[in-house]
C-alpha cells in the first residue's frame, strides 16, 4: 500500500473536528478527497449573514435581504446583500496588496501598497447607498434573466477610505481622461485567468467626487471578504456594479471603459422607452448612471396585525441616486390619496434618508401601506412598475406592505 496516497493523521483529525464525530474508515480516505458533509457550506455562517437572508444563487454567491431586515440606519454586515459575478478570491494577503493606477490617460503607471494608501492620503468616512442595478428585477413581465432580486439588493453602510480623486491626482492624468475602469482579484466562473468576471467604471466626473472612495473599512472594521476585502471602490448612488470589490488596478481611460459588463446590454437600459418584450438594438441602449428615486418600508414587516383604534408607526429609508429625497408620502387606499411622512436629511450626500409616519386606519380589515418618495427634481416613484427593459434594471416601484386591523 502506497501510504502517501492516503490522508495524513493531522489532516484526518481536522476533518473529524469539522464533521463533529469519528470518521470510521477515515484512515482509508484518499488524500485531497472532499467529504460530502463538508461540501455544502452554510452560507449564513460562511459570510456571517442573518438566517433570514435569502440565497438566490450559490455559484456565484448572490444573497439578498428582506425589507424588514434593512431597518437599521446603517446596514450591518449581517443584513448586507451579496452580489458576485464570479468567485470570491481566496488566500488574500492584505500585507502584500497593491493598487496600480495606469491607463491611456494616466501620466505614469504608479503602484501603491495598502499601507501607502492609508498613510499618504487623508482618510474620509461616508454613509453610501449601494443598490444593485437589478434590484426589483423579479417583478418585470416578460421576465428578465439574471438574479431575481425582490427588494433587498440595497444597503447603506459607513465606508472609510481615501478619496479616489486624491490618488488619481497623485498619479496624474492628462486632458484625454474620460472614464476610469477597475480590475479586481475575483475569478471568472470558468476559472480562466484570462477572463474577468466584471470590470466596470465611471466617468471622470463621478470618479472625482469627494464621496467616491477607495475604501478599506466598512462600519469601522476591515471590509468583510465577500464585500471586497481588503480594498474596494465605493461610488454611492450609482448602480453598485460601479463599486468594484477586491480592487487591484484602476485604469484612467481615454474612452468609455470597455471592460467586461460595460458593453452590450449589461447595466444598460433603452435610451428611449420601449414596449414590454421589444428587442432593442445595442446602439439604442444607454449606460445606467445615477439610480432612480426609491424607498423601502422597513418597519413593520409586511403582514403585521394591529388592534382596531391603534396607530401604526411605520419607518424606512429613501434614496435618489445623486439627488436628495425632498418628499416622502404614504397611502393606505391603493394610491388614491397620499399623506406625508417625516423625512430626515441625509447624513452626507449619497446616504439614504430615514422616514417615519404615524398611520391611522378607519376600520377593521385588510390594508396595504404604500410608500412613495420624490426627489429634489420632482421625480416620484411609479406606483407599480416603471418602464420595462430587456435586463430588468431600475425597478423603483413603490414598496408596499400588508396590514390587518383586527
Ligand atoms: N470585483 C467585483 N466587484 C463587484 C462585483 C463583482 O462581482 N466583482 N459585483 C458588483 C455588483 S453587480 C454589485 S451590485 C455590488 C454588490 O456589492 P456587495 O456584494 O458588497 O453588496 O458589487 C459590485 N462589485
Ligand atoms: Mo449589481
Residue 77 in contact with ligand 1 by CB distance below 6 A:
no
Q: Is 80 in the pocket of ligand 1 (CB under 6 A)?
A: yes
Contact 231, 99 (CB under 8 A): yes
Dmax (CA) for the chain in angstroms is: 82
Range of the domain at 389: 294-405
Closest CA to 287 of 320, 309, 265: 265
Tell me the CA–centroid distance for residue 51 and ligand 2, in Å.
22
Residue nearest to atom 14 of ligand 1 (CA): 132
| Torsions phi, psi for 123 (to 5 deg) | -100, 140
- For cell 471590509, name the residue: 223
The last residue of a domain, from among 233, 268, 287: 287
Domain containing 119 — which CATH number? 3.90.420.10
The rounded distance, in Å, linking the Cα atoms of 48 and 18 is 18
Q: Does 204 lie in the same domain as 255?
A: yes
**DSSP letter, residue 164:** H
Atom of ligand 1 nearest to the CA of 155: 21
Cα distances from 140 to residues 151, 178, 320, 394, in angstroms, run 13, 34, 21, 10
Domain limit, last residue, from 239, 255, 287:
287
Based on the fold, state whether residues 377 and 249 are members of the same structural domain: no
Residue at 65 is within a domain: no
Distance, in Å, from the CA atom of 90 to the CA atom of 69, rounded to the nearest integer, reads 29
For residue 83, the CA-to-ligand 1 centroid distance in Å is 5
Q: Are 64 and 52 in contact (CB under 8 A)?
A: no
For residues 300 and 280, membership in a common domain is answered with: no
Please report the pLDDT score of residue 41 as a whole number.
75
d(CA 380, CA 395): 13
On whether residue 34 sits in a domain, the answer given is: yes
Q: What is the mean pLDDT of each run of 10 residues along the chain (406 residues)?
A: 62 86 92 81 92 95 98 98 97 96 98 98 98 97 95 98 98 98 97 97 98 98 98 98 98 98 95 93 96 98 96 98 98 98 98 98 98 98 93 97 98
Pocket perturbation via mutation, ligand 1, pick of 75, 159, 186, 198 by most ligand atoms within 8 A of CB: 198
Residues 144 and 83 both lie in one domain: yes
Q: Given this model, what pLDDT does residue 147 score?
A: 97
- The residue whose CA has the least distance to atom 21 of ligand 1 is 82
197 lines ligand 1 (CB under 6 A): yes
> Which of 267, 287, 307 represents a domain boundary (last residue)?
287
**Which residues does 1 contact at the CB level (< 8 Å), separation at least 6?**
none
Q: How many folded domains does the chain comprise?
A: 3
Contact 394 CB / ligand 1 (< 6 Å): no
Three-class DSSP category at 383? coil
Decide if 66 is inside a domain: no
Q: What is the pLDDT of residue 1?
A: 44
Q: What pLDDT score was predicted for residue 6?
A: 67
Amino acid at each position: 500500500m502506497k501510504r502517501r496516497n492516503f490522508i495524513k493523521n493531522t489532516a484526518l483529525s481536522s476533518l473529524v473536528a469539522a464533521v463533529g464525530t469519528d470518521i470510521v474508515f477515515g484512515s482509508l480516505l484518499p488524500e485531497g478527497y472532499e467529504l460530502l458533509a463538508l461540501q455544502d457550506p452554510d452560507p449564513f455562517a460562511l459570510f456571517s449573514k442573518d438566517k433570514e437572508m435569502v440565497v438566490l444563487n450559490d455559484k456565484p454567491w448572490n444573497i439578498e435581504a428582506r425589507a424588514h431586515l434593512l431597518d437599521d440606519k446603517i446596514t450591518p454586515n449581517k443584513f448586507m446583500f451579496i452580489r458576485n459575478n464570479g468567485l470570491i478570491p481566496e488566500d488574500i494577503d492584505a500585507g502584500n496588496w497593491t493598487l496600480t493606477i495606469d491607463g491611456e490617460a494616466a501620466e505614469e503607471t504608479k503602484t501603491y501598497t495598502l499601507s501607502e494608501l492609508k498613510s499618504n492620503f487623508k482618510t474620509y468616512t461616508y454613509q453610501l447607498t449601494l443598490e444593485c442595478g437589478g434590484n426589483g428585477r423579479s417583478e418585470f413581465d416578460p421576465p428578465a434573466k439574471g438574479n431575481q432580486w425582490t427588494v433587498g439588493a440595497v444597503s447603506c453602510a459607513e465606508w472609510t477610505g481615501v478619496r479616489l480623486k486624491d490618488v488619481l491626482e497623485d498619479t496624474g492624468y492628462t486632458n484625454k481622461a474620460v472614464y476610469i475602469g477597475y480590475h479586481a482579484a475575483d475569478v471568472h466562473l470558468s476559472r480562466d485567468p484570462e477572463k474577468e468576471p466584471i470590470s466596470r467604471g465611471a466617468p471622470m466626473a463621478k470618479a472625482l467626487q469627494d464621496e467616491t472612495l477607495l475604501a478599506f473599512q466598512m462600519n469601522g472594521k476591515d471590509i468583510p471578504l465577500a464585500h471586497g476585502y481588503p480594498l474596494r471602490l465605493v461610488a454611492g448612488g450609482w448602480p453598485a456594479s460601479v463599486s468594484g470589490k477586491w480592487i487591484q488596478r484602476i485604469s484612467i481611460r481615454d474612452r468609455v471603459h470597455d471592460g467586461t459588463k460595460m458593453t452590450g446590454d449589461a447595466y444598460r437600459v433603452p435610451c428611449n422607452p420601449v414596449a414590454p418584450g421589444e428587442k432593442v438594438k445595442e446602439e439604442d441602449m444607454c449606460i445606467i448612471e445615477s439610480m432612480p428615486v426609491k424607498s423601502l418600508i422597513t418597519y413593520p414587516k409586511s403582514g403585521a396585525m394591529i388592534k382596531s383604534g391603534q396607530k401604526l408607526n411605520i419607518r424606512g429609508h429613501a434614496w435618489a441616486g445623486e439627488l436628495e429625497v425632498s418628499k416622502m408620502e404614504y397611502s393606505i387606499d391603493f394610491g388614491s390619496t397620499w399623506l406625508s411622512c417625516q423625512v430626515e436629511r441625509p447624513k452626507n450626500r449619497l446616504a439614504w434618508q430615514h422616514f417615519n409616519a404615524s398611520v391611522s386606519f378607519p376600520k377593521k380589515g385588510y390594508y396595504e401601506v404604500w410608500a412613495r418618495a420624490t426627489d429634489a427634481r420632482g421625480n416620484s416613484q411609479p406606483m407599480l412598475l416603471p418602464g420595462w427593459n430587456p435586463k430588468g434594471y431600475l425597478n423603483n416601484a413603490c414598496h408596499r406592505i400588508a396590514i390587518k386591523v383586527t
